[in-house]
A and B are shown apart, each in its own frame.
Chain A
């Protein structure tokens, strides 16, 4: 002991752990024991120690062997070993059903171990989610507790990576989204998993991933399950455990998010983010080292995805995604199932936006380059420069799409460029851009013109590229096929599954010795007659959850094997059953919720979509099993999360059935799949509410209830497509057409607020100038020809007039420019020029005294001319003013009128407008159907009416000018523009319904 105390810092040479001060004889006790059971070799007299297992740190031989009959099961094979137990594939002897059987390890026999093992079962059984492994039951066989679970044929994700190597990024992201779904459900039930890793994620037949092995899970709710975070040592798999978990600190959901990140890392690269030969080294590594980016191990991982992985693996929980919903949003764009090809219309608009942006910038640059060229005398011409502008846009697309996956226009329209694999991404983007610009380049070379084709010509040159575009290939053009890139929608609607609240553990109190037992269950209450039997609510006393027990008459054939193995969200799990002379029953999962017939209608399209799709998917699967199945509405159960479940029995007669579109007989009438869907949709739809569903949804619902309903497969396909259609109109998409309208309306606003008043002011100024010229010429006439004029009778008067003119009109007298203008050339004024020159020479300077005296003498004439001047305007030619007014009103009203005419054509061609349609939106009436042409035109004119009023004020050139004064135009015009701006703001704030929609009685919804 003393030796050890003096060597506190010593470590065990065998395991590397520090030696505690009380290490016996200074040796690591655990390693001594391990060495104590090793087989000794050497020295010729090797003797077996008699211990079967060579490595005592590994669990001993499995408890059960293949083929062994163990209680009611036959063991088929060992599937794996978890923290507490061994998992076998087993066959239930009575039914032949295959399931997974988890048995407590033979080394764990304490009461605590048993309790913990059963606690796992209880926790896991309290979750029922498509992405968690379902627990059938729990029992004790030969004194060992066992849990039966659904058998997943696809192995674990670890097996998959081991067999096939690292997964493609999209598949890995999809798998992790599944895991997140299951964990989110667990979290909603108040459960932390604490041991997420690839070997705890199971793959089913269809490739969906389910979370299993809740062996280390703890309940975050304190009431029902004992747990002690502060005293628990480390448990879990250290390679995937968060630093705070390794330190034994209190955990929250972010520790599981770390493990999810570690799992994704493993799926992408085939190895855990951090690893070390022993636990201690690993703990210090996890605490200090940042794992290498997955991209360093594999180049085809999208950057964004790698960033998400590293964010999950942040040392500080606050730096990780804070919830599963947040993490799912980050991952969804990379998951294979969520990429939807962008429609051509959207792409066209994105391209136009890009072209406008690039060309305006390049023209600006080139004009300045040209100006600069002029000043330095260079030979650069605008023509030659513009020939290279295509290169500018090619570089623009290459850099933005390569670096960020989307040009600005694509970003605006919510689409992005992707590739199936990210290997040689820049090369692909280069190829894509090069092929896209090839026709332009060829055209320029062939035509020999160094001219950038304009927008229309570029469009014509580009269209042939899209000859290959088909729905099947994701609307891929030649440039996309050759570069193996696609344009997909960037923002896919979050298909958040609301999680059913936790099924509370059933209070075992009602279970007593007197309770009636059916198989392993205790009968709780009777629900009622199901026609073919009686339905009871029972309790699984070990898992402490409810089950439904369907008591059937003797002679009823047993449930078919195919039915027993169904593990779909749309059906109940079959748990157990018996057919004998005395007992005939089947036990099913009892999900929380209510019979569909008792469920209230819902106006929320998402809810309706969830209900309909879940049922449609189930009905389609049911139809594959038995085409002729008929259903009643009583066969439908609504889970607490809103999904519908097809029951195996009609829910016992509902006492009252309410609902507008449902007759009482509907409840019991047998229906085909499509009829059932129609009945469900009719019953769900609450009447009289605003249309809040996409147009295609309304169409689908109408078709369902029409005389010629669509095929079930079409319904499921359409419902699947609708999952990615947003449920309300998007602000950005509503803003876009208004942005286009802002150009003419803005011009109009400029005209009424700036141009017209300026013109008015300048006209006023010009008038006064002209008038002053006329006064001057009158004076000159008097001076030049005194005889012809009675005004200046005396010489004194003439001299005074000459002095007055010389002082007041000196600029006109000496101005060459003035005498060359048009007016002085007219007959009566000819010859005055000489007189003017003489006057200027005669009176170089007129003193103020002289001027005052002269003014006094000619005062009557001054007054007369002033009086005349007030009336003179009429005779001034108005040509200049008219021209400017014409230009101004044309500048404002022509674009507006043009917009109105084009817009009117557009809304007549496609109700709601072509742009609205291209942006994936539709204008509908109250009943959800698309509006007609007339209403479409009215709605459009309502929207533009302020601009029309404005034009009426400003005037339309060549049509006649109902001219108003500039002041009136200013007030009315700016008011009209402000009304339109306010309307636009309102519309963006309430994208479903702008003011014009309110007046026209329309709504805007996604198509």
Chain B
């Protein structure tokens, strides 16, 4: 038996139901991930996660395709199976095949994207996996590649969002595992 249980729809407040439905709709999912629904009895956490998702991931000036490739690679590096599967399913909808995605995971530098989008993915991955190792020269380099300061901050926030989300996903997945 798993430690956490998934609350039934009837147990959720109308506000929580509405917020979860909004998340499902934004991502075009058939059903809600268990790693979100498990928080159904904690409205503040649902609110926090959706606020972060909408502002730090969903609203963005970078293409959806590049964002999902970044998520796949961050999840791969941090071994977050839930986020990895979610990103792959979005990329599948965009027409990427499994073999291409496997190849990208094996060699993240070989992204089949325009240079600017490839660099977005490269920097997002770098920030999410090693923010303690960043140097001023990393930012100068990004600016030389044409990213504005606002865009660089957006990349930082995007990467930070995924470090938050992966803690949620990995932790609750451990508590949702059958013993």
A pairs with B:
no
